[in-house]
Amino acid sequence: MKTITKYFTGIDVSKPYFDASLLCVIDHQKQQIQTLRFDNTIQGLKEFHKWLKKYKVTMNENTLLVIENTGIYLRLLWMFCCEKNLPIHIGNAAHIKWSFGITRGKSDRIDSIRLCQYAYRHAEELKSSSILDPVLLKLQDLMASRRRLVSQLNSDKVYLNELKNISDKDTRLILEHIHRDAIKGISYSIAKIEILLKKIVSENEEIKTNYELLMSVPGIGYLTATYIICCTCNFACRRSGKQLASYAGVVPFEHSSGISIKGRNRVSNMANKELKKMLHLCALSAIQFYPEFKCYYERKTEEGKHKVSVINAIRNKIVLRAAAVIIKQTPYVTKYKVVA
């Protein structure tokens, strides 16, 4: 009878190094967990590969590596797994942490062991993350850079407005001149990033197809379309409309408990706040320029619905339409008719 061996690896990543824990399960019998620390470098990954070979870890469906999403720090490991065809699950840090239950103590080594045990317990329900796409990474980095620059730009504009309160006129004029130059420079950098974003999208056929489909949805502009593509890895994870809406934080959930708590349905605080903010602007645009959403907004507010609640419903509608055009691979066509 053939012996079945499965391998579960948990890795806790930081900037300088990563801690790895390995659990071998032979014929449903768990072996002792092995742990070791490696440098988060190319050389460190070579040592990690040798360590896996030492324990005869197979690079196929019998192996699962679980890691928390730590942004740019996990990219070398992600690339390594893609090159070696090693199944990797990049999990949400909060979801993984809460799955541990009540815990005491914390260290990088302990966290890697907990991730290893998490991989073993949830192996059947965990899905492998998509292959690392350098084009999507470039889009994500550019979008992140643009977000930081916009934040700096808004901060400088606020400070420039506050300079009017300075009584010393000469000092005020000097500072205004300096900050105006800074604002011009940041605005120029933002414009260059946006040109690069459009160029990358236009040069990649798969991304361009989904981008144009998203752009057909009322209210969605090129930045929101690009950001949705980045968040969903160009819909490689095949999220449904409800999943995407929940991720964006526009789905109201029940809030009640026995007779003590009887609150109204409300959206969860666990959401991609940047996407939610973009969708809010999309909803305002849709209300202003598209009769379908304008009439819906006016009808619901006249019925007594709170304006914010109606805007959230429109955000939800936009997300559901965005997911639908991707799933069907057909542009959005409105069936709404304006009655004269």
* Tens-digit pLDDT profile for residues 230-245: 988 888 877 788 889 9
pLDDT band at 259 (very low <50, low <70, confident <90, very high): low
CA dihedral 91, 78, 29, 126 (to 10 degrees): 30
State the average pLDDT over residues 269-298.
92
Q: Which residues partner with 17 through β-bridges? A: 39
233 Cβ contact partners less than 8 Å away, ≥ 6 residues apart: 130, 133, 136
Helix (H) or strand (E) run with residue 215 in it: helix 205-215
pLDDT band at 1 (very low <50, low <70, confident <90, very high): very low
Q: Give yes or no for residue 58 having a pLDDT over 50.
A: yes
- Higher-scoring residue by pLDDT: 105, 292: 292
Q: How many CB atoms are closer than 10 A to CB 103?
A: 10
Q: Give yes or no for residue 337 having a pLDDT over 70.
A: no
CATH superfamily of 5-121: ATPase, nucleotide binding domain (3.30.420.40)
Q: Are strands 34-39 and 17-26 parallel, antiparallel or unpaired?
A: antiparallel
Nearest-angstrom CA–CA distance, 96 and 80: 22
| Count of positions (residues) in the chain | 340
79-37-131 Cα angle (round to 5): 15
Nearest-angstrom CA–CA distance, 66 and 128: 9
Helix (H) or strand (E) run with residue 29 in it: strand 29-30
Q: Which residues partner with 256 through β-bridges? A: 262
Q: Give yes or no for residue 326 having a pLDDT over 50.
A: yes
Q: Give yes or no for residue 126 having a pLDDT over 50.
A: yes
pLDDT at 112: 93
Residue 2: DSSP 8-state: P
Q: Give yes or no for residue 324 having a pLDDT over 60.
A: yes
Cα 133 to chain centroid distance, Å, stands at: 15
pLDDT at 130: 78
* Tens-digit pLDDT profile for residues 7-53: 999 999 999 999 999 999 988 888 999 999 999 999 999 999 999 99
Percent of the residues in the chain that have a pLDDT greater than 90, as a whole number: 57
pLDDT at 103: 80
* Tens-digit pLDDT profile for residues 153-198: 999 989 888 887 777 788 888 888 888 999 999 999 999 999 999 9
Structural domain boundaries of the chain? 5-121, 134-203, 237-328
pLDDT at 262: 66
Query: Whole-number mean pLDDT of the chain?
Result: 89
Q: Give yes or no for residue 69 having a pLDDT over 80.
A: yes
* Tens-digit pLDDT profile for residues 132-153: 788 999 999 999 999 999 999 9
pLDDT at 338: 57
- Higher-scoring residue by pLDDT: 254, 263: 254
pLDDT band at 5 (very low <50, low <70, confident <90, very high): confident
Nearest-angstrom CA–CA distance, 272 and 319: 13
State the average pLDDT over residues 316-328.
94
